[in-house]
Structure 1
């Protein structure tokens, strides 16, 4: 297949006048789109999908046309090239797929209501209006909306409303921008507003199903984020307002529409009096991520989707830069180390993984690019590596120049590297080419050979992998006298004894875990490091544990070698070290089966790991708690619950009984634990049904997540069957939340068969519901994170290999087959060794 044909090569739009007449009762839309632009050829085409085109006019004259949902175009002829005025009349329906223009459903005091919103990324603007629906086709948009309006309703768009005439709401023309960033919404909303120091109006909007105070946190973070980015980028925010809107039904986490950012409710709204620090950090980083996009993605936009990383990788890094500045006590860069880093390292070690930059040869592949582990996590990790190389001031200077050169236009990756290179004096493009255009990453082998310290690089694989002799320009970040970059296959660093004596400590690479790689130390070097492990900072302890886990998964080491380090780090007061311990334990569970001796031994190990921490922290929060304590406690309690700690089980049950009249009021730091404990150890059908009803009725997203986590832990087959029976019932489980329910039931050993059967039996329903959306391929991703037997691998291949012709999921099928296969091989190779070592420790 050749290159993608771009409609921008045929017609260049300049201005759109978009008119929508939307009826929520009939779910019908009548639209008229007027476009002024330049025809480069006489045979013209616009994107459209599922639009019933009624008439096309060119320069006021009706012309013949053909339209096709297969090609997603409407085709017609212009009498001349040059400046033209197009007008397309059409009608269509509100979608029910959370793409295009669609309704969100919610209840207030038992009354069902609708809120209409939009989601146009990546290529769903064409489901709302005919256009050149490509990122490079930037234009000015004038939006006008008429709808079946009720008194007191709010209507929002990218720009301020300028007038209402005959029931039509007219909005100011936008700045020059891409189609996928157009947005509007209307419904019965509440709002809170403030203003930045530079005069930008900030607003947070939500349905009235929420308490007013749930908008306060987002308003504060949004205001301070805009102020931060204006200063950091040294470039003013160019719009008069920045609206943040929570949609009750939203497929993505959030979307950076210019001036009207839309969010899933769980990622914008929270009760400031009853929300854990971990959730506040997540919500804050999501808001900062989307607002970083207002410059990087909206003001300057990637030229085509293959440079998606330009948008997402950068915003993913900047969310941490911003929140670190706004809330330094949160130590948000530590969260980067437990979320982005392991996600990227895990995914990027599978042979066949996409590179950060991926050439697109079929438009159906676009949504598959949104691989959170690569475009978001790995990409941001690479940009962190660049920032560490050039320094913050050079980064800021380069970005200011980049925005000045490309504002209201489009760019490619080389443009960013040129700007950063000029600001830093380094050839950033040459350094980054190997990281962006090659998949995978290196393992650095550090060893002593004939008295010399030798470092070498080769591609790191988990599972089978074909070494293609790839080389990277690797920042070493050594704690001893070593070059800045490793650019060759192997390098002699000099006399080990001299380097060790001069350094005065064990020799390590990748300080701060800023480079995207794994280090495999020889036994003598690792032993030296382990003697000093207590003196390392939290990130370096995390990195050591993380690297050893990955090396074990690759077969270079055994999981048995992890156990001594787990015991050394078990009493750490660091949240990120404790979270990494938890991540390792989760992986070790693959080696044991339910009710086996191995599971008993693993629970005994977890009891050893958690007992001192449980005693130190207790069940409930204290005024003296540090932020780390607040983050560590739920991890320790979960571990103790898995280890069946009798005192914890009893205390959590007492806390449940004391609050059963109003479960949402349970102390939020332990609410999930208390609910899980009740379902695991004091379950009944009445309890289960009451919790499920509470899930349906609450508008508190955090409480919903706690209930979901608890309900899916049930050991009762009949209750698991009830959950699966609700997977397609939107009144109980919204489609946006379905994946979380599915994977949580799948991860329950007693629910695995039920959930796996559902996915295969109801695939056609699922494809109709979320196919074509960027979330669709992730149903395979989360499935592959759970399945781990040869039988399941065979079933996975039998079901999905016939679907390899579908470009939307073909890459994911190939990747996830390898992920499951590597896990099956690993268990077979390392299980006996690990279980033997585990038995010795817990005997």
Structure 2
């Protein structure tokens, strides 16, 4: 059993009356069960419960079931009645606490001699040592536990800690007054920290929630409030808010919040109440307006897309000062980081605005897909998150049609996840249930594979089915399984029915046969097209071709691959590659024409060509790059660089794809190029290659810098196009980094002008991130201290995030070390931001060794605070090791793994294995390619 995970704690003990004999038994046990279990006794806090069972003919209970992570399936919850009272002031012991009462009705599905619940004994204690009570329906004597309906009650007390899990507290200062918010994060396994429950996604129930809270505060939960009264309890005046019963739902979607927040109100045509909640000053400054404006249109879009009405009476969305994830799809009460929901049009950037639209669209998508119909167990998390990550682009595109945001999915998800899924240590989208039990294993599932690969393969599925057929299958699926749980094959069933009813769709196999190959085996193929021989082949693409794949594949790493073609600008019919190789295919014999496969990157695979076709594509880019679709220009760059890393083409061929960039003005190819060239920067910015690389990139970016200087009338205006604004940001970033003098002078002058006039920032919101970083990197202590002061005074979350990141850019080591120390002080840096600061410092070439030393010295503390279940913990390991490319660093990494094995790596376990794998590959790649790269760069620089 993993250290730090607790399940079925004896906080929920009940005294059980069994039929006429009225014998005492146990109804809740601890998974961290001590030696007393061998004596058939349960020791907890105050008192001793002795277990005695009547003689019944029962299904045998598994041996030591309290030592298992999963609950038995004999019982199913029906309803909960929960009353919680969070105290927003410290008690006499200096603690924030909450008290509660919980009563549940549950059904006995199978005969059993044991009742287990989840409860975290480190967070909950029974009040006055009271045992819980079990009765039959409506208070009747409890029958034998056999096909019965039973009721149980318990009272408990817990700490309202600042650990960002379960029922926790968030603190902020407004108007000079320290304020506390009581809020929740139940996903994936934290509901048990708030009250005893059946804390598994398949164990859905109806929840009746009542919150007691200080007068003058407001209480929120999943349902609308139906009664608010002022009362006195134990001589304390409080407000009691009772909420309408929830729909049948999972515990991880529950939310309870007590705060001093204000709200904005809107509604749908169907009279669904829509509200945005946040700090009063944030709303008074207009930061909630944009989220309110996009929520209605996005909800309407999903109602049409799913062909199902929004299933609840209200949609609350709330921005929290302290929140570990980006957002959480609690049904009817979605919680967000402030940066993910609040947008200030005067201070926030175009990227902040897009983030609000896409995150809101992602969470609202879950209201149907994930909440209405829910995964059975966490091994299928991709079904929830991959789907929401796909349709968020559809929802955001509906709300902001001029952005053309759907095309950006190739950059944000497809290319992003390729980098992870090309590792031998990757994993399938759907894992076996037994592989995902411990909390760290569950948290590990909240990764790029589940979100981005899930989105990419669903996008591919939608492309070859067509969006109308895909949407019909979704609607059928959602309507059949509403308020229940599913596995991913249930979705295939309904999509296949939609295909059968659509004669225009001609698939070579069933949806099951096609998609299981993408879901049940890890990785993806590289499709190689030889236009000289008319031959098409596929094989498992590995970034390090020398790595060993230990995970067996049920399909021998062969996929059914949909291929869309283009020959010299003419689109061809879709083709399916159904085996390892096709010989003499007339479709790919192109003669003197260039051939391009995977049109618009609708398929989840990479493409390689024979050298002749590569040369034709490169010639086309040099002469008229606009003849190739913009997404595929980005694809050519990304495929080429990664094919070179996998030793399938020469590295110089990959570099050759960047020659034409001096003529490119579009954001998407430039962004693709920068992401791949960043790997070269990381590998070489400490060695002799960096000088020639910097000179070459300076040469390539200067025309784009001049283009935007003219377009913006010498940087006094903002480009009108959405992606043009992004491209301007990238242009200034790379130009300054590569030493374009005019860029460095520009950014430093803007920043120092701001220093002279702190209350009149001359830097456009779009450019703040890159300007702040470049100015602090070029400056010294004075610039850093100014940015730190502005961070401490900032009241806008997006502005604070930019400053927090920019402070990691300094080249002064003692400042970076001081900032590292700050990161672990919750009084200075919020806990939600600690790991991202450390990772950002590690991305700084000066800060990387400092961050690495810091992490190794404080691993025990970092693991205790963040590693047991934090979704962001793997990012810490990835961030600090991504520059590792020497034998010495590999040795350090392996020593780190050995030295801390007794502590553990929690949700970063897979990330550590991948870091070792990537470092090994980096070492080999640098050794094999360094000299060729120097020679090519020296030739190209002119």
1:395 aligned partner: 470
Correspondence 1:337 to 2:413: no
1:97 paired to 2:188: no
Q: Is 1:183 aligned with 2:265?
A: no
Number of the residue aligned with 1:44: 115
Q: CA deviation at 1:812?
A: 2.7
Q: Provide the rounded CA distance (Å) in 2 between the counterparts of 1:702 and 1:600.
A: 35
Q: Cα distance, 1:6 vs. partner?
A: 3.6
2:727 counterpart of 1:632? yes
Which of 77, 82, 85 is the matching residue for 1:18?
82
* 3-state SS of paired residue (1:308): helix
Which residue does 2:308 correspond to in 1? 235
Q: Within 1, Cα distance between the matches of 2:906 and 2:802?
A: 36
Aligned partner of 2:585 in structure 1 is 494
Larger deviation, residues 650-659 vs 11-20: 650-659
2:820 is matched with 724
Q: Is the 8 A contact 1:476 1:484 kept in 2?
A: yes
Q: CA RMSD in A?
A: 2.2
Q: Distance in 1 between matches of 2:183 and 2:762?
A: 32
1:279 aligned residue: 352
Would the alpha carbon gap of residues 589 and 732 (structure 1) be closer, same or farther in structure 2, given more than 3 Å must change? same
Q: Write the distance in 2 (CA, Å) between the matches of 1:30 and 1:623.
A: 54
Q: Does 1:206 align with 2:278?
A: yes
1:572 Cα offset (Å):
1.8
Question: After the TM superposition, which residues 260-409 of structure 1 pair with which residues of structure 2 at under 5 Å, given as runs?
Answer: 260-361=333-434, 362-409=437-484
Q: 1:621 to 1:397 in 2, by over 3 A?
A: farther
- What's the TM-score, normalizing by structure 2? 0.84
CA distance in 1, matches of 2:118, 2:69: 12
Query: How far apart are the structure 2 equivalents of 1:558 and 1:368?
Result: 39
Cα 1:486/1:641, change in 2 over 3 Å: same
Q: What are the within-5 Å matches in structure 2 for residues 479-628 of structure 1? A: 479=566, 484-495=575-586, 499-500=589-590, 505-533=593-621, 534=625, 535-594=627-686, 596-618=687-709, 620=715, 622=717, 625-628=720-723
- Does structure 1 residue 701 correspond to structure 2 residue 776? no
Q: Which residue in the other structure is 2:5 paired with?
A: none
The Cα of 1:371 is off from its aligned counterpart by 4.2
CA distance in 2, matches of 1:286, 1:506: 39
Partner of 2:20: none
| Pairwise CA distance, 1:306 | 0.9
Unaligned ranges ≥5, structure 2: 2-61, 91-95, 137-141, 232-238, 501-506
Task: Show CA shifts across 1:119-171 (max 9, x none).
Answer: 00000000001000000101000111113x142x2211101111124232111
Which region of structure 1 is more displaced relative to structure 2, 316-325 or 793-802?
A: 793-802
Partner of 2:234: none
Alignment partners' CA distance in 2, 1:237 and 1:664: 43
- 1:438 to 2:521 alignment: yes
Aligned to 1:57: 132
Kept in 2: contact 1:301–1:410 (CA 8 A) = yes
Among 90, 95, 98, the residue aligned to 1:29: 98
Residue 69 of structure 2 contacts residue 438 of structure 2 at CA under 8 Å; is this kept in 1?
A: no
Deviation at 1:720, TM superposition (A): 1.1
1:819 Cα deviation after fit: 1.7
Give the distance between the partners of 2:104 and 2:380, measured in 1 at CA: 27
2:246 aligns to what?
A: 174
Give 2:218's match in structure 1, choosing from 149, 154, 171: 154
Per the alignment, residue 421 of structure 1 pairs with: 496
CA contact (8 A) 2:525 2:605 kept: yes
Paired with 1:646 and 1:602, the residues of 2 have a C-alpha distance of 17
For the structure 1 residues 753 and 807, does the alpha-carbon distance in structure 2 shift closer, same or farther, using more than 3 Å as the test? closer
1:797 Cα deviation from its structure 2 partner: 1.3
The answer on whether the counterparts of 1:664 and 1:703 sit within 8 Å (CA) in structure 2 is no
Query: Which residue of 1 is the match for residue 876 of structure 2?
Result: 779
1:635-784 to 2 correspondence within 5 Å?
635-660=730-755, 661-662=758-759, 664=761, 666-683=763-780, 685-770=781-866, 771-784=868-881
Aligned match for 2:927, one of 828, 836, 839: 828
Structure 2 vs 1, CA of residues 255 and 784 (structure 1 numbering), >3 Å: closer, same or farther? same
**TM-score, normalised via structure 1 length:** 0.93
Give the SS at the match of 1:520: strand
Give the Å deviation of 1:209: 4.2
Offset, 1:393: 0.8
Query: Given the alignment of the two structures, is residue 461 of structure 1 paired with residue 542 of structure 2, yes or no?
Result: yes
Aligned to 2:145: 80
Tell me by how many angstroms 1:84 deviates. 0.4
Say if 1:160 and 1:172, in contact at 8 Å, map to a contact too.
yes
Question: How far 1:411 moved relative to its partner?
Answer: 0.7
| Equivalent position SS for 2:803 | helix
Q: 2:320 aligns with which of 247, 262, 266?
A: 247
Selected match of 1:123 from 180, 189, 193: 189
Q: Does 1:7 align with 2:76?
A: no
Aligned residue for 1:286, secondary structure, equals helix
- 1:192 maps to which residue? 264
Q: Do 1:746 and 1:756's aligned partners in 2 also have CA atoms closer than 8 Å?
A: yes
| Aligned residues of 2:526 and 2:606 also touching (Cα < 8 A) | yes
Q: From the superposition, tell whether residues 493 and 272 of structure 1 become closer, same or farther in structure 2 (CA, over 3 Å).
A: farther
* CA positional deviation for 1:413: 0.4
Alpha-carbon distance, 1:5 to partner: 5.8
Tell me, what secondary structure is at the counterpart of 1:455? strand
| Distance in 2 separating the partners of 1:487 and 1:60 | 60
SS of the equivalent of 2:823 reads coil
Tell me how far apart the structure 2 counterparts of residues 834 and 430 of structure 1 sit (CA, whole Å).
44
Q: Distance between the aligned counterparts of 1:386 and 1:735, measured in 2?
A: 39
Tell me: CA distance 1:772–1:372, structure 2 relative to 1, closer, same or farther (3 Å): closer
- 2:896 aligned partner: 799
**Take 1:135 and 1:623, find their aligned partners in 2: how far apart are those partners?**
47
3-state SS of the aligned residue for 2:883?
Answer: coil
Q: Is the radius of gyration larger for structure 1 or structure 2?
A: 2
Preserved contact between residue 226 and residue 291 of structure 1 (Cα < 8 Å): yes
Q: Which residue of 2 aligns with 1:72?
A: none
The SS at the match of 1:515 is coil
Q: Do the aligned partners of residues 705 and 570 (structure 1) sit closer, same or farther apart at CA in structure 2, a change above 3 Å counting?
A: farther
Q: Which SS does the other structure have where 1:403 is aligned?
A: helix
Question: Residues 226 and 750 (structure 1 numbering): CA distance in 2 closer, same or farther, change over 3 Å?
Answer: same
